[in-house]
């Protein structure tokens, strides 16, 4: 029994500390790719093209689902506004207030974005918008296909990802709302907004 007790004690000691010097970063749960500073929204002036943020302002478009599919023929080409700074802005047509945050933004790492859209007219969530995102470094350099999907865990809040940025630089990330709707009528729910994003 004495030798058995000694043997069990030595086995426990060996198991507890014998391989410490051979432990790898993967064993320790360290993601070697997730080092260095993360990217994020590019800081700049607050968006005020519809009025001061937090105030209904000068221009507000009340949307109507009845204007989603009018009998007016083909939808015109989208009229995109300039990309916005920070992580909050009005959409291009003053229909929604949009905010977003994300997981850490790093080169060649999958990123998930959480986007919240509310109607500028009454502050209600933009539910059922089937929000999608497109990311591009330039018109000729879109983000690679990463199998991106969208979920809506609560009304007007969308979880979109993964999106992978394959080159450092200042990217543009555009969110589309009610993309299936025609944009022929001013009060159609169809909307979009883009943001500058820094990828280190």
- Segment 116-143 mean pLDDT: 96
CATH code of residue 166: 2.60.40.10
**Whole-angstrom Cα distance, residue 29 to residue 39?**
22
Averaged pLDDT, 144-169 = 97
Query: How confident is the model at residue 78, as a pLDDT?
Result: 78
Domain extent for 189: 37-199
Please answer whether residues 54 and 122 qualify as being in contact, where contact means their C-beta atoms are separated by less than 8 angstroms. Answer: no
157: in domain: yes
pTM beyond cutoff 0.75: yes
pLDDT of residue 195 exceeding 80, the answer is yes
CA–CA separation, 93 vs 44, rounded Å?
A: 20
Number of structural domains in the chain: 1
Tell me 51's DSSP state: B
In a domain, 2, yes or no: no
For the ranges 53-62, 63-72, 95-104, 186-195, the lowest mean pLDDT is seen at: 53-62
Residue 11 placed within a domain = no
In a domain, 1, yes or no: no
Q: Is residue 46 a part of any domain in this protein?
A: yes
Q: Is 17 helix (H, G, I), strand (E, B) or coil?
A: helix
18 lies in some domain: no
Considering the domain boundaries, does residue 89 fall inside one?
A: yes
Range in 6-10, 50-54, 141-145, 195-199 with the lowest mean pLDDT:
6-10
Backbone angles phi, psi at 15, to 5 degrees: -65, -35
């Amino acid at each position: 029994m004495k030798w058995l007790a000694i043997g069990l004690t030595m086995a426990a000691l060996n198991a507890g500390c014998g391989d410490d010097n051979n432990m790898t970063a993967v064993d320790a749960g360290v993601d070697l790719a997730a080092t260095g500073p993360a990217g994020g929204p590019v800081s700049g002036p607050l968006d005020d093209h519809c009025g001061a943020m937090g105030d209904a302002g000068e221009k507000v478009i009340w949307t109507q689902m009845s204007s989603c599919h009018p009998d007016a023929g083909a939808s015109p080409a989208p009229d995109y506004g300039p990309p916005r700074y920070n992580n909050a802005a009005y959409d291009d047509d003053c229909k929604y207030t949009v905010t977003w945050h994300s997981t850490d933004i790093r080169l060649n790492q999958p990123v998930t974005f959480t986007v919240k859209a509310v109607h500028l007219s009454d502050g209600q969530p933009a539910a059922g918008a089937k929000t999608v995102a497109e990311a591009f470094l330039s018109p000729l350099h879109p983000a690679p296909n990463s199998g991106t999907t969208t979920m809506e865990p609560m009304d007007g809040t969308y979880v979109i990802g993964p999106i992978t940025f394959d080159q450092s630089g200042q990217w543009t990330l555009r969110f589309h709302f009610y993309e299936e709707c025609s944009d022929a009528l001013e009060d159609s729910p169809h909307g979009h907004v883009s943001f500058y994003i820094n990828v280190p």
